[in-house]
Amino acid sequence: MRIGILGTGNMADALGTQWVRAGHRVLFAGRSPDRARALADRTGGVAGTFEEAVSFGAAVLLALPYAAALDTLTALGAEEGALRDRVLIDCTNAVGPGFVLTTGDGPGAARTLADTTGARVVKAFNHLPDPVWRLTPPAFADGPVAVPLCGDDEEALETVAALVRDLGCVPMVVGGLDRAAYLEATTAFLIGLWHCGHDPRTLLPPFEAATA
């Protein structure tokens, strides 16, 4: 598969490296062409512009801060349809000081991205920090990491599910884009717990106990 990545930071590096390793052709794009080229050289991908990343292949990973994403996509012609029907993987966490969602009580990030761009947005990979995505495979004692996916388009969900499996993880479709805001809020909550030194795993009973 050909995958365009918007961003050259931690998430672009973590996921892009895995997908190159899995045999995909990955184009990295950032506001610094030098950083994009360095990342491409190191991982075995190619470097390009944001415009090229959007039109490169079957999927586009949005690996920018949410605060920068809408402006960047608008500058690319999102409102004129430049991303219409593209499979856009949204891994952003719009989390501000105090671990509060900067999207407030309004539509969440994924919903807003879909409404703004007309892209087939799938929320994915936002719920864990990049060091986990760098593991080969991302797995712990309980087994491979499950990756919750939210999206409204079956084909887009299957495309992203395949990319999840390529990491050695297990895709878990948890609903449409109307559920993505819950995943975003859950992640903000998790980030807050981790930063305060609490282990969220201790909050949860075994599955059988919760569903008895």
**Residues lying near ligand NAP in the complex (CB under 6 A):** 7-12, 30-32, 35, 63-66, 68, 72, 91-93, 126, 129-130
Distance CA 84, CA 86 (A): 6
Minimum distance, C-beta of residue 13 to ligand NAP, in the bound complex (Å): 7
Distance CA 196, CA 203 (A): 14
Minimum distance, C-beta of residue 133 to ligand NAP, in the bound complex (Å): 7
Minimum distance, C-beta of residue 209 to ligand NAP, in the bound complex (Å): 29
Minimum distance, C-beta of residue 176 to ligand NAP, in the bound complex (Å): 20
Q: Which is nearer to ligand NAP, 71 or 154 (CB)?
A: 71
Q: Which is nearer to ligand NAP, 33 or 154 (CB)?
A: 33
- Are 39 and 53 a contacting pair, CB within 8 Å? no
Put residue 44 in one of left, alpha, beta given phi > 0 → left and psi -120 to 50 → alpha: left
Minimum distance, C-beta of residue 137 to ligand NAP, in the bound complex (Å): 17
In the numeric block, which tokens belong to residue 35?
Answer: 């950083």
Q: Which is nearer to ligand NAP, 154 or 200 (CB)?
A: 200
For the chain, counts of helices (H) and of strands (E): 9, 12
What Å distances lie between residue 65 and 91, 96, 121, 189, CA to CA? Answer: 9, 11, 16, 18
Put residue 28 in one of left, alpha, beta given phi > 0 → left and psi -120 to 50 → alpha: beta
Q: Which is nearer to ligand NAP, 14 or 156 (CB)?
A: 14
